[in-house]
Each structure stands twice: as C-alpha cells, then as structure tokens.
Amino acid sequence: MQKTRSFHRRKMVVIFLGCALLLLLLIGRLAQLMIADSEHYATLAKDLHERERSIKAARGRILDRNGTVLADNRTVCTVSVIHSQIEEPERVITVLAKELSLSEETVRKRVEKVSSIERIRQNVDKEIGDRIRSYNLAGVKVDEDYRRYYPFGSMASKVLGFTGGDNQGIIGLEVEYEEELSGTPGRILTLTDARGVELPDTGESREEPVAGSDLVTSLDYNIQKYAEQAAYQVMEQKQADSVSILIMNPQNGEIYAMTNVPEFDLNDPYTLLPEYLPETAEGAAGTDGENALAAGQVVSAAADGQGVSAENAGAQSVSAAAEGQVASAADAAGLSGEALQDALNRMWRNGCINDTYEPGSTFKIITASAGLEAGVVSLNDGFSCPGFKIVEDRRIRCHKVGGHGAETFVQGIQNSCNPVFIEVGLRLGVDRYFAYFDQFGLNQKTGIDLPGEAATIMHKKENVGEVELATISFGQSFQITPVQLAATVSSIINGGIRVTPHLGVRVQDRDGTLLGVFQHEDGRRILSEETSKTMRYLLEQVVDGGSGKNAYIEGYRIGGKTATSETLPRSANKYISSFIGFAPADDPQVLGLCIINNPQGVYYGGTIAAPVIRGMFENILPYLGIERA
C-alpha cells in the first residue's frame, strides 16, 4: 500500500516537473517572440496589413551642349483599382471606360479580377486623372507619375531614343545612359485590415522617389536643326530613300549633329511613317536592305568566303521592348505584330551606326594616308591613267572612261582616279595594307556611346589577292559604318590621334551641380603629324580645284573627298552619293559627312552631296565663331 502511494507521488512529481518544463519552454518561446524576434514579426505584420503602390521617379532630362532641353518629363497619372474596396462596381466600370476610352469589357475584366491592386491604365493625362479623382469612387486609385516628353518631336529621334510604358529607355541615349537617367522609384503605403480593406483615418506614408540625373550631350540644337533641314531638302529634291548627315569635332570626337531622315516622332514612336509601310518598305530600307547587309544576302556571301558573322550587320532588335504598344500599333497599321515590329525596327534604326555601306572614294583618304606613311608614294610621283588598270585578269575601270592621262599623286587625288589608288594599294601589298587597316582602328568598333554599333565587314586577309586589294584600295568590296569613316578621317586630319566619337559629356543635378564627367578613350597615335599635315593639304586641293569643288566656300579653307558607290546587287543600278569635308583645312574644328541613299537622276557625290556640306558649313562655321580668312 505504501509502495503504491509512493509510486503515485513520484508520478505526480514527474508530471509536475514535465508541466513546469513545458511551461518554461512556452515562456521562453514567448519571450523570444515578444522580445528577441519582436521587430521581425512586427515587420511581417506590417507587411501583411500594408498595401504598396509605386511612385515613378522623374527621369533625368537630356540637354544639348548649350543647355537646351531635348528630353523632359510631363506629369501623368496611373489609374488602378483595389477589388476589395470597390463598392459600386458597375459605376466604376462605366466611369473608367468612358474617361479612359476603353471598352467596358476590358475594364470589367480588370475591375472584377480578385487581386490586391489592378492597374487599369498608365500614362493618363493629368486632366483626365483629376477628373476621375473627382468622382470619389471607392476602390479607384489615381497616382501621379511621369511620362517622357520630347519638346522638338522628331528631332534627333534615332539618337535620343525613347522610353516605354515602364519609363525605361528602349533605344538611343535613353537606353545607353539608363543608369544615370532612371532615378529611384518611391512608394505609397496604406494600412488595411485582414480582408485587404484600407483602414479609415490611418492616412498614407510615402517614400519619395529620387529623380534621375540630367545628361548633358555634345549635340547642338541649332546644328542638328541645320542638318535635318538640309537632309530633308536633298532627300526631297533627289527623291532619295534616306539621307544621313553626321557633324563632329575631329579634335575630340564630340558629335554636334547626327540625323538619319526620315526621322520619327519621339512622342508617338509606334506610329509608322509612310516610308515604312509594307508597300514602300522595300524602298525605304535603303542601306538596311542592300548596303547594310541586314537582309542577309551579302552577309551570307561574306560568311561563305570571308568568315563574317551576322552580328557584324549591326541589326538591333527591340522586339521585347514594348509588346503592348506594338500590339496596339499593329491593329492601327493593319499588320501582324511580327510584321509591324520589323517595320518599327527599320524605322528606329540609326543608319550612321547600325548600318554598313561601301564607302567608295571617300576611303581613298585611308589608302593615301597608308601609302604616304609607308613611304610607297610621294606627292610628285607620276602616274598614267588610260581609263582603266589591268590587275591580273581583270580590267578595272576609272570613273572617267577616257582616262586622266599623265598625272601626279596630287592630281590623282584631286581627280579621284581609281588607277592611281589601285597602284598605291598594290605597292603597299596585302600584309602592309591590312596592318594599316588595324593601325587606323578600322577592324574595331569605334566605341560610340549608342547601342547597336555595327562592325566593319572585311575580307579575311588570306582570301585577298591583287584584285581584291585593288578594289579595297578605292573603297569597294567591303563595308564600314558612316561613324567609323568619320572617326577614322577625323583621326587622320587632326594630327594623327585616334578619337572616340561620342555624345555623352557629363551628368548633373537639375540645378546644374556637376555629378560626373564621362571619359572617352582617345590619345592613341595612328599616324605621324607629318602625314596628317600632308593629308590636310591634299584634301584641301580636292576642294580647291578637284572633284570636291562644289564644297568650296570663299574665305574658308575647306578640305574633303567625294564618293559615288554602287549598291549590291550591282544590277539594280542604285547608288550611294557621299562627301566628307572639314574646316578650316589647316586646323580642323568641324567635320561633316553626308550620305545620300539611292538618289534619282544625277547621283555623283561631288554634284549632290558636296553642296549639302557646303551649305551646312556656311551656317555652322560662323555659328561656331570660325571667321573667314
């Protein structure tokens, strides 16, 4: 009996100790939750009862070199609904469909969707947003944010680029300098109960957004305007497919203007220009289809014999950039989404950097520089041009069928005589010519601060014989970008220092406080100062009395070179007319390149492209403070 009583006592003690231990564990866990982990669980509870709406940051502006605003922001609204808070769903559907110009079916799907917050429409004009706010509809939220706005519409459209609905850059400078321009979004936080309904009288807490930095570029509004007016004028006169003009400082690589007309409206970038609609797309493609190799014909041929990859064609795809806008635009244009995206990509392409072309006689500047630097030719060397030159089994003709007769090297470059430059190329030989091609930087991209730069398309050295070398020497059978030609010629005439063409100069606060200056690689010597000086003299002779005489301006020393090249396939009889010029010839401060794609009628570069640069320089030189001699 006593043993039984003792056993029960021990049993009770064990149970008591077990309960006490369990109680201590519970007290310890409670202390951990309430003290040690209190902050963590308070945060979880707060998150559970907080609803977050983002606030877009004001995107940094893009300015020209003089402070003119080229890209800015406008206040717009985002209209959203919170399903759990809607009290009059039919009224909400009716009002939003009417004010936002949407179908009731579209609005109904979003209003009736069970979610914490459903966006109905972004980028709503502030006036409309204020009007919706005035209805005081429960569950409807109207938040203000920003939409990109371009004060000058289509100006420099393919350089500046534009942003999508998420306010992120899609092409051009907008995407290249996304990190500097984008800023940091803010938040609006509201408290809700367990059902997700906002608690009354709790107010909202805000985390203010941080605006992006302003980007100051080397573009000059006035020079850009001159360039676009000149490009549109010659495009209309010559019924050309497209015209590109590039104006830059050859001393430091700063780009003052870059236009590729036709330009598109930056404030409406998803509306196709007539030139890019299906019935005219073939003609509008210009260098994109035939000279830039984007259609694949020449890329395939190059890959067969020259080992060129399709990447070198410089095609830039933005197919994933803004699917909603593309779909809407497809409906408006009557195209499938894929067909429309292809047309938009063609319209958005920057021909100065995304497309390659055969430079023709402007490339004789490179051949002449290499020949002089290597010592295989001098100014007084004599040549004979009967109108052609036999190379191996090929008869390669000069543009002057009757020939130029006896001429010096100076006269050869004045006359843009093919046989003279074939002879210089052959004197250099394949190995030495390709060495100078590398030395001048032509086998690398320029490094311009714009996306999608195409690379040079050139024969593999082992596939180059005398015939190929002869055609390369006067600018045919290979392709480069316009910006590569401009950068290389700049480097040849500025004393022999390679420059990096660029647009970004610095970033600053909206009040002008400097935040940083961009560094662009340059300073590599590619040519001796003596050869550079000789090239300036030779190119001045081209304008003074040679093929570039239509670029002459009284009182100014102008240097330059003309070109007329035939596009592929040669049987199409389509041409590219171009002229590259600089001034003053003895101390170049500005360089201009004009390329006219498929002009009708007279197509010689000296006749139609040189006058374009002359007209540009007549405006630009006084504007830059360069006086007549």
Is pLDDT of 1 > 90?
A: no
Token code pair at residue 268: 């409406």
pLDDT at 35: 73
Is pLDDT of 2 > 80?
A: no
Q: Grade residue 514 by pLDDT with cuts at 50, 70 and 90.
A: very high
> What is the CATH topology of the domain spanning 51-217?
Penicillin-binding protein 2a (Domain 2) (3.90.1310)
pLDDT at 293: 31
SS3 of the chain: helix, strand, coil, percent, to 5: 45, 20, 35
Is pLDDT of 383 > 80?
A: yes
pLDDT at 72: 96
Q: What is the mean pLDDT of the chain?
A: 86
Q: Grade residue 167 by pLDDT with cuts at 50, 70 and 90.
A: confident
pLDDT at 485: 98
Is pLDDT of 439 > 60?
A: yes
Helix or strand holding residue 74 (H, E): strand 69-81
CB 612 within 8 A of CB 594: yes
- The residue among 157 and 183 whose pLDDT is bigger is 157
Q: Grade residue 193 by pLDDT with cuts at 50, 70 and 90.
A: low
Grouping H, G, I as helix, E, B as strand and the rest as coil, residue 258 is strand
Which residues 6+ apart lie within 8 Å of 462 measured at CB?
A: none
pLDDT at 333: 57
pLDDT at 465: 95
Task: Using CB atoms within 10 Å of the CB of residue 512, give its burial: 0 to 12 exposed, 13 to 18 middle, 19+ buried.
Answer: exposed
- The residue among 352 and 52 whose pLDDT is bigger is 352
Which residues 6+ apart lie within 8 Å of 156 measured at CB?
A: 70, 219, 224, 228, 257, 258, 259, 263
What letter does residue 566 receive in the DSSP assignment?
E
pLDDT at 319: 38
pLDDT at 184: 86
- The residue among 51 and 594 whose pLDDT is bigger is 594
Q: Which of 213, 244, 361, 578 is catalytic?
A: 361
Tens of pLDDT along 85-136? 888 989 999 999 999 999 989 999 998 888 778 889 888 888 999 999 999 9
When pLDDT is averaged across residues 61-81 and rounded to a whole number, the result is 94
Q: What are φ and ψ of residue 439, in 5° steps?
A: -60, -40
Cα–Cα dist 545/552, whole Å: 9
Cα–Cα dist 536/366, whole Å: 12
Cα–Cα dist 74/136, whole Å: 24
Helix or strand holding residue 188 (H, E): strand 186-191
Q: Grade residue 431 by pLDDT with cuts at 50, 70 and 90.
A: very high
pLDDT at 302: 29
Q: Grade residue 324 by pLDDT with cuts at 50, 70 and 90.
A: low
Is pLDDT of 392 > 80?
A: yes
- The residue among 82 and 354 whose pLDDT is bigger is 354
pLDDT at 331: 57
- The residue among 185 and 232 whose pLDDT is bigger is 232
Cα–Cα dist 331/334, whole Å: 5
Is pLDDT of 78 > 90?
A: no
In the residue annotation, 54 being an active-site residue is answered as: no
Is pLDDT of 566 > 90?
A: no
Q: Grade residue 58 by pLDDT with cuts at 50, 70 and 90.
A: confident
pLDDT at 296: 30
pLDDT at 19: 84
Q: Grade residue 313 by pLDDT with cuts at 50, 70 and 90.
A: very low
| Whole-number percent of the chain with pLDDT over 90 | 63
CA dihedral 520, 526, 528, 534 (to 10 degrees): -90
Domain regions of the chain by residue span: 51-217
pLDDT at 506: 97
- The residue among 461 and 207 whose pLDDT is bigger is 461
pLDDT at 3: 59
pLDDT at 144: 79
Task: Please state the length of the chain.
Answer: 629
Grouping H, G, I as helix, E, B as strand and the rest as coil, residue 358 is coil
Q: Grade residue 335 by pLDDT with cuts at 50, 70 and 90.
A: confident
When pLDDT is averaged across residues 33-51 and rounded to a whole number, the result is 60
Cα–Cα dist 363/489, whole Å: 9
pLDDT at 164: 87
Cα–Cα dist 424/19, whole Å: 103
Neighbours of 589 (CB within 10 A): 16
pLDDT at 308: 32
Tens of pLDDT along 281-310? 444 434 433 333 333 322 222 223 333 333
Least confident of 1-5, 416-420, 436-440, 460-464: 1-5
Q: How far is CA 470 from CA 277, 300, 363, 573, in A?
A: 40, 23, 12, 22
Is pLDDT of 186 > 50?
A: yes
